[in-house]
Chains A and B, each alone.
Chain A
Amino acid sequence: AQRVTQPEKLLSVFKGAPVELKCNYSYSGSPELFWYVQYSRQRLQLLLRHISRESIKGFTADLNKGETSFHLKKPFAQEEDSAMYYCALEGGGNKLTFGTGTQLKVEL
């Protein structure tokens, strides 16, 4: 069975501080990992995908197969980063398993 764990329900940081949103997964095969984001009053949308190895809005995420982790990082938080972030795993068939989400609050 596949599982995604996000241990923090809420993460509060000051503007300009580094951000790290934690995600751990369990999956017997070779997964594809994603971060989805939901800004206030907006739809759930894809932020980034591990296989793309790109930085989106200053965020990066590295897949660590040894630690089964896919943490989302940004060196300097901005106010507009405040949102709900979901880690998700695709284990075949284009089906996503989501974590419980972490609410990021960036304070001035």
Chain B
Amino acid sequence: EAGVAQSPRYKIIEKRQSVAFWCNPISGHATLYWYQQILGQGPKLLIQFQNNGVVDDSQLPKDRFSAERLKGVDSTLKIQPAKLEDSAVYLCASSPYGTAQYNEQFFGPGTRLTVL
């Protein structure tokens, strides 16, 4: 089966600009995740969707970050305006079932964002 797709793979912007990332999960997967991975750190969960509803966005900086998953399939993550500390790899993952029990997450290749 095709894996999780993300675009773009790389993005360079200046601070205070806006940027958007796109994720297409594995077909039929109910749950979608966005992670932020800063250099030298492990991935940190930003937001978790089950179908088209938000399950957890407690670690999403809502003053500048937003995310949506229209129709319960694709998702976009937006940063507006970007700050230098937003430079990171943004990973999207999906899992087949809901969040009531553990089920394996499958990761995309990530988008590397550089904010100058």
User: Which A residues have a C-beta under 8 Å from some C-beta of B?
Assistant: 4, 9, 32, 43-46, 86, 88, 90, 93-101
Contact = CB atoms under 8 A, between A and B. Distances in A.
B105 A96 contact: yes
Given A32-B102, A43-B3, A93-B99, A99 B42 contact: yes
Interface residues of B, number: 26
A98 B3 contact: no
Interface of B: 3-4, 31, 40-45, 48, 55-56, 91, 95, 98-99, 101-110
B102 A94 contact: yes
B95 A94 contact: yes
Contact of A45 (B42, B44, B107): B107
B95 to A, nearest CB: 6
A93 to B, nearest CB: 5
A88 B93 CA distance: 15
Contacts of B102: 32, 90, 94
A88 B102 CA distance: 13
A100 B31 contact: no
B48 A44 contact: no
Contact of A94 (B3, B40, B42, B103): B103
